[in-house]
Amino acid sequence: MTPDPLAHSSTASTGQELCQSLMEFASPDMYRKSAFRVLGVATSISLREASKELERRRMLAELDQGNLAPSPNRLELRPPPSSDDLRAAETVLHDPEKRLVHELFWFWPLDPHSRTPDIALQALQTGDLKSAAKHWETAKQAPGVTPFQIAIAKHNMAVRWHLFALDAEERTQGSCWNDEQNDIVQKAWTAAQAYWFDSIRSDAIWNALSARVIAINDERLSLEVVQSMRATIGRALLKVNASLALRYSETNLLAGAKAHLKLLLKGPVSAEQKFAFDTFLVDPMKARVRQRIADSEKVLQAEPSEGLVQAQTLLAALSRYDPLLETLHDAGSESDLRGFYDEVAAQSLSCVIAFHNATGNDKDSIAVLEQTLPLAHSEELRSKIESNIATGKNNLLFVDLAPLIEPLKKIEESKDSPRERLAAFLRTVEPMIAEVNGVLAQSEALRTGTSDRIARLLRDVSVDAWNNSKDGVTAIDALTRADAYAVSPEVKTQLATDRQTLVQVYADQRRATRTATNKKYAWGVGIAAVVAILIAINLNDKPSPNSAGRAAPNTSVTPTDASNSPVAASGQTYSIPSYVREEVNRDRAAAEQAQAHVNRLQAQLAAAKAALEARQRDAESAKDELDRLGASVDQERAFLDNTNEDAVHQFNAQVAKYNRLLKHAKALMAEADELVDPYNSLLARVQAESREADRLVDVYNNKLERYGRRQ
């Protein structure tokens, strides 16, 4: 079985060294830099004869008479070879390995050992390529022709159509794929690929090259070079088409780019397609785009306001390869470009952010980010781009909310009474809400944020109405209206808590009122009892000491320390969207103000507690003394001789002392009781204000987490 040279090529990737001279030569202009075409000579020419031809052509080049060369040969280069071209050809002929590569891609005689001139090569010298090709076609089927000669004929036909196709590409700069030449060029490429596939699989071709190595007889050239060329030629041929596909993608010649991609995908030389795609298409494309990324980064460091232009340029650079990448994707290419696309998307995002930070231009930033988003594959990157797009759109919408935001902000900053602020809301804000509903409907985040902001304003009015004015009507009205606007669970929960707190405060107030009434009643009973004892004694009655009632003061509520959480600070730095930045800053100021207010109230509470406890100690001391004296009076009453006027007088003196002490104890207890209600009210206020401060801290921190982005 004839060995497949592409199998050798695959082996080459794991062991066989590739022929670098062949890979360097393989390019769209390979036939324009062919040493044999530049000099117009056969592959069998000796170095001496080649030197003579070089001298002749140098003289013509120096005299600028290259166009006067007598041969009408179609193979002659137009414009004629320059001095540099001639020098390069001379270098090739003196390098045996490069000369062998150039010979592989030029025309060979059917019988290199024949002394009779080759008819086809003679036709080429006169410019009759058509006759030469006809001779090779005939030779393939001529009687007595050898397999070796058939292989040479196919090789020459491969060179003939390969040269024709590349000349057409060069001459038209790729436009041949857009006009009537399309069909001709397509057929030329199809024929070239088919003939090359037959030729490179033929042992005769490689045997012929091995014979040339022996004939050249140069120690720098060995038969291993032939094996290396055989292992390399599959990749070399694919490189030519891949280079054209890449070139046409970059110059927006879509028809040519797609044509060469199809030649790569559907051509007979397919074993090395993945290598060709990665090495000759994907890798160069990545390198060029990454260079564009590096260039944009340098510009950003110098001038951030140029970020938009840099992002647009980067996206345009990548878009040139869209036809190429789409064709590869449709063909089921295994090249994984997701990471590469993320590189481009991430840099585009960085460019836009720099531009927006420098200019504040939301509209243009959004447009470029929306172009960038389809490139992003990682969830994290897509989320960042989508977040920035949403922020930009909300910023644009926020401008349209000015008729609502301006009066809303005015009320938020107002120092008027709660009743006046609620009236201003009903007069200036509420009528505008219906007018901006169309704007709010375009963004769920903006609608939620604005509605919650209104709800919080009304809640502040409610809290101030009760805490500062004890205006229950305004407090309930504002709180009820706030319920209608609240959207987020956080705000709804806070309003429910406020309503519960307000109800509890009312209940506490009623209990305090009832307690005060009960205390006054108890003291009244005690006074009446003492008076009754005095009357009974004076009438020489024998009342029981238990009839002298002693009223005890109400037990005060033991105060508890009201908790107060400082504004949380996670150590993170956040970037806040402009449309909520003012609101977040206001929430922070409110939290700090509430904390300061709680601290002042706690100081008042501590002083009130100290005063209350001092009065309670005095009252308890008086009560203890009163109890001892009452026990003594009861004991003396049991043994009192009512007939002994002195004993009765002494006993009544003790009762009078008891009544005086009772009055004093009553006064002390009354003073203590008078301090209980204010203290309990202040304690409840501290607890309520502490909860409110904690809530404001939580609101501020939650907004940082919700709207902010960590830097």
Query: Do residues 483 and 527 share a domain?
Result: no
Contacts of 557 (CB under 8 A, 6+ apart): 676, 679, 680, 683
**Distance (Å, rounded) from C-alpha 351 to C-alpha 338?**
20
Instruction: Identify whether 249 is part of a domain.
Output: no
pLDDT digits over 351-369, tens only? 999 999 999 999 999 999 9
Query: Do residues 172 and 309 share a domain?
Result: no
Lookup: tokens for 678:
């204010």
pLDDT reported for residue 331: 61
pLDDT reported for residue 711: 54
**Where do the H-state alpha helices sit in 70-146?**
83-93, 96-104, 119-125, 129-139
Query: Do residues 527 and 662 share a domain?
Result: yes
Query: Do residues 214 and 95 share a domain?
Result: yes
Instruction: Identify whether 270 is part of a domain.
Output: no
**Where do the H-state alpha helices sit in 360-471?**
362-372, 379-400, 402-412, 418-424, 430-435, 437-440, 444-469
Query: Do residues 421 and 384 share a domain?
Result: no
Query: 171 and 29 in contact (C-beta within 8 Å)?
Result: no
Instruction: Identify whether 554 is part of a domain.
Output: yes
pLDDT reported for residue 683: 87
Contacts of 621 (CB under 8 A, 6+ apart): none
Query: Do residues 677 and 579 share a domain?
Result: yes
- 3 state SS of 293: helix
Lookup: tokens for 234:
């599959």
Instruction: Identify whether 500 is part of a domain.
Output: no
157-179 per-residue burial string, b: 16 or more CB within 10 A, e: under 16: bbbbbbbbbbbbbeebebebbee
pLDDT reported for residue 598: 87
Query: Do residues 456 and 471 share a domain?
Result: yes
Instruction: Identify whether 509 is part of a domain.
Output: no
Query: Do residues 305 and 406 share a domain?
Result: no
Is the pLDDT confidence value at 647 over 70? yes
Distances (CA, A) of 102 to 23, 45, 126, 384, 688: 12, 13, 21, 54, 94
Query: Do residues 443 and 426 share a domain?
Result: yes
pLDDT band at 2 (very low <50, low <70, confident <90, very high): very low
Instruction: Identify whether 14 is part of a domain.
Output: yes
Query: Do residues 146 and 60 share a domain?
Result: yes
Q: Which CATH number goes with the domain that contains 344?
A: 1.20.58
Distances (CA, A) of 435 to 81, 218, 399, 424: 78, 92, 14, 17
Query: Do residues 325 and 415 share a domain?
Result: no
Q: Which CATH number goes with the domain that contains 593?
A: 1.10.287
Between 199 and 125, name the one with better pLDDT: 199
pLDDT reported for residue 624: 85
Query: Which amino acid, residue 500?
Result: Q
Which domain covers residue 436, as residue numbers?
Answer: 401-487
DSSP collapsed to 3 states, 463-526:
HHHHHHHCCHHHHHHHHHHHHHHCCCHHHHHHHHHHHHHHHHHHHHHHHHHHHHHHHHHHHHHH
**Distance (Å, rounded) from C-alpha 615 to C-alpha 669?**
8
- 3 state SS of 128: coil
**Distance (Å, rounded) from C-alpha 640 to C-alpha 647?**
7
Between 54 and 557, name the one with better pLDDT: 54
C-alpha closest to that of 61 among 39, 42, 34: 39
**Distance (Å, rounded) from C-alpha 538 to C-alpha 186?**
141
Query: Do residues 350 and 408 share a domain?
Result: no
- The per-residue DSSP string of 139-161 comes to HTT-TT--HHHHHHHHHHHHHHH
What is the reported pTM? 0.59
H or E segment to which residue 575 belongs: strand 574-575
Instruction: Identify whether 268 is part of a domain.
Output: no
Query: 69 and 60 in contact (C-beta within 8 Å)?
Result: yes
Instruction: Identify whether 505 is part of a domain.
Output: no
Q: What is the DSSP letter of 710?
A: E
Number of domains forming the structure of the chain: 4
pLDDT reported for residue 332: 59
Among 350, 372, 398, residue at a domain's last position: 398
Region of poorest pLDDT, from 9-18, 160-169, 697-706: 9-18
**Distance (Å, rounded) from C-alpha 238 to C-alpha 231?**
13
pLDDT digits over 368-403, tens only? 999 999 999 999 999 999 999 998 988 888 888 888
pLDDT digits over 28-79, tens only? 999 999 999 999 899 989 999 999 988 888 887 777 654 544 444 568 888 8
Query: Assign residue 578 a region: left if phi > 0, alpha if psi is -120 to 50, beta otherwise?
Result: alpha
